[in-house]
Amino acid sequence: MIERVHLRVRDIAQSRAFYGVVLSGLGWGEAEMAETGAVAFGPGTPDTPGWVARIWLLPTPEGPVGAGHVAVGAADRAAVVASFAAVSRAGGRGQVVMVPPLSVSAYLEDPDGHFLEATARISAREAVIFAVSAELEGVSFAGAEPIWVQSRDHNLMTLAGETPCVVTCDGSVVTVATIADLPGLQPLVAAARAMEAELTVHRLKAGQRYTVVRAFQDYYANAFSPGEQLTFVEQNFLPYDDGHTLVFRDDRGERRMYVQGGTELYANFGRLIKG
């Protein structure tokens, strides 16, 4: 939380749009001061009793703009990542970094070169997710959670407890209690990269043709034979029982494949079907 920050900006409309994108995602509201043209932001909404403006944008089209760094608290890691993603989609610049001892922050550059930081405390368990996601995604975070999908597909890592976090990877065990333990995750990252090219039920692409390379039966005993050509249409996921309905088309029309999470077919999907 911050008390109050005043920033002098050249283009109030452009700056207002930037801060609105970031702060609305963190639960902040905004208000305009008609007399001066200033725009104020604060947690909650202006119509809430006791609402206090914490960040003020002051239009200064001809004078010097004020450089500054503002840090605002976020509810959790997801909110930090969402702020970064929103700014990236709008063409803005920024980066997501780990901050010792266990915090994650998005540093977001506004139109006048000020840096707005959205930050949240995280657990050792979340630090593991962040570290692996950052390595795999290049800290682009178009989606921050796919690491869970990769982990489930390949039994890549097992997380137990919050602090310390026990990570297993290819028979080795890494314990993460603080940020200093994260370099020990490099074997996990290397293994994940090696498996990135392997096909899973989550990586099927609509319109792409796939070939069955080994005979198998799906969850409901529907048979698939080597050499079959299947064009993927869509996937329906039933989260309550981890069931996947994969819809394909072949020369005979629609083909449905039912894959249950945790089964041999699910784990070895990339060895049975190739793109």
pLDDT value, residue 133: 61
For residue 77, what are its two tokens?
A: 């890691």
pLDDT value, residue 192: 58
The sign of the CA dihedral 67, 69, 74, 78 is positive
The answer to whether residues 245 and 232 touch, using CB atoms and an 8 Å cutoff, is no
Q: What is the dihedral of CA 175, 180, 186, 192, to 10 degrees?
A: 70
Please give the angle made by the CA atoms of 71, 177 and 79, to the nearest 5 degrees. 35
Q: Where are the domains of the chain?
A: 5-121, 125-195, 209-274
pLDDT value, residue 223: 95
CA dist 100 and 121 (Å) reads: 10
pLDDT value, residue 253: 93
Fold of 5-121: 2,3-Dihydroxybiphenyl 1,2-Dioxygenase; domain 1 (3.10.180)
pLDDT value, residue 171: 65
- Helix boundaries (H) for the chain: 12-24, 77-89, 124-137, 146-154, 186-195, 264-267, 269-272
User: What is the CATH number that goes with domain 209-274?
Assistant: 2.30.30.350
Residue type, 212: V
Greatest Cα pair distance in the chain: 74
Name residue 169's beta-bridge partners: 172
Mean pLDDT, consecutive 10-residue stretches, the chain (275 aa), reads 81 93 92 88 89 89 74 86 85 79 82 86 76 53 36 46 63 72 73 65 89 94 95 76 85 92 82 89
Q: How many residues does the chain have?
A: 275
For residue 191, what are its two tokens?
A: 């293994």
